[in-house]
A = this chain, B = another copy of it.
Amino acid sequence: MASDHTRSAILAAAERLYADRGFGDVTLRDIVAEANVNLAAVNYHFGSKDELIAELFVTRSIQTNRERLNELRAAEEKGGGRAAIEDIMRALVGPTLRGCLGPDREGSTAARFMIRASIESVPPIRRIKNREVDHLRKFAAAMRRAMPGRDDTELYWGLHFALAMAHHTIREKERLLRLSEGKCNLDDVRAIIDRVVTVSVMALTMGDVPSKPAVRPTLVHGRLTRQDL
């Protein structure tokens, strides 16, 4: 194991190709051609194609999860142990959206790969994905601390909808661009994050009785009243 040159070349080439063309369209021969290595190298270094995909996915999963948890921890420190709900949602959707929607498209190969993994459903990845629930539970716990007394069901739906908007925006950005004839600016990632966070917090606080009218308006005006393109 003197130099991982071949091994990492395969990983890089595979991730790039999968990100660009999807799992269904990329063969081992495509990968080794892109990596300039021999066909047998994949099975030598990874055992099988599925294990290569799995390694790719777990690596990136760990990275994204760590980013998210870092943001979450920072938010909790900022709030003295209890993060604000909007900061929690921001920590949840921010890393993914920034990674996948940013104009720095070349550095975001990893993110585009993760989107592929989210769109297509290939066996090795599906197996790993089942563990993601444990990760989301940490966010659910933080949300519970931020909104004590709120019904857990509402909380889960809010978390679910936040991921829905984030992932769907990434998944269907082409369609949204076409539908809006370019009016929806998908390069302004910060505005998109603000938008998703705002709507998520709205969804989470929507059960509030109108006798406490301060909550919602504050959020509405505090966050992105302005998302001009």
Q: Which A residues fall within an 8 A CB radius of B?
A: 22, 24, 119-122, 130, 132-133, 136-137, 140, 152-153, 156-157, 159-161, 163-165, 167-169, 172, 175-176, 178-180, 183-185, 195, 198-199, 202-203, 206-207, 210, 213, 216-217, 220, 225, 227, 229
In the bound complex, do residue B140 and residue A179 qualify as a contact, i.e. CB atoms below 8 Å apart? yes
In the bound complex, do residue A163 and residue B157 qualify as a contact, i.e. CB atoms below 8 Å apart? no
A213: which of B132, B213, B229 is its contact (CB, 8 Å)? B213
- Output the least CB separation between A17 and chain B (Å): 16
- The docked-state distance in angstroms from the alpha carbon of A220 to that of B208 is 9
- The docked-state distance in angstroms from the alpha carbon of A121 to that of B132 is 22
In the bound complex, do residue A184 and residue B157 qualify as a contact, i.e. CB atoms below 8 Å apart? yes
- Output the least CB separation between A58 and chain B (Å): 18
In the bound complex, do residue B210 and residue A220 qualify as a contact, i.e. CB atoms below 8 Å apart? yes
24 contacting pairs across A/B (C-beta < 8 A): A24-B24, A119-B121, A133-B178, A140-B179, A153-B180, A153-B185, A156-B176, A159-B179, A160-B172, A160-B176, A160-B184, A161-B168, A161-B199, A164-B167, A164-B169, A165-B165, A198-B206, A199-B203, A199-B206, A202-B203, A207-B225, A210-B213, A210-B220, A216-B216
Contacts A122-B24, A199-B202, A229-B153; A168 near B164 (Cβ below 8 A): yes
* Copies of this protein chain in the complex: 2
Residues of B near A172 (CB, < 8 A) are 160, 163-164
- Output the least CB separation between A150 and chain B (Å): 13
Residues of B near A184 (CB, < 8 A) are 153, 156-157, 160
Residues of B near A22 (CB, < 8 A) are 121
- The docked-state distance in angstroms from the alpha carbon of A80 to that of B20 is 48
- The docked-state distance in angstroms from the alpha carbon of A178 to that of B203 is 21
- The docked-state distance in angstroms from the alpha carbon of A120 to that of B22 is 11
CB closest residue in chain B, given A163 = B168
- The docked-state distance in angstroms from the alpha carbon of A161 to that of B10 is 37
In the bound complex, do residue A175 and residue B206 qualify as a contact, i.e. CB atoms below 8 Å apart? no
Instruction: Sort A-B residue pairs by CB-CB distance and give the 3 closest, nearest first.
Output: A164-B168, A156-B180, A199-B203
CB closest residue in chain B, given A221 = B210
Residues of B near A225 (CB, < 8 A) are 207
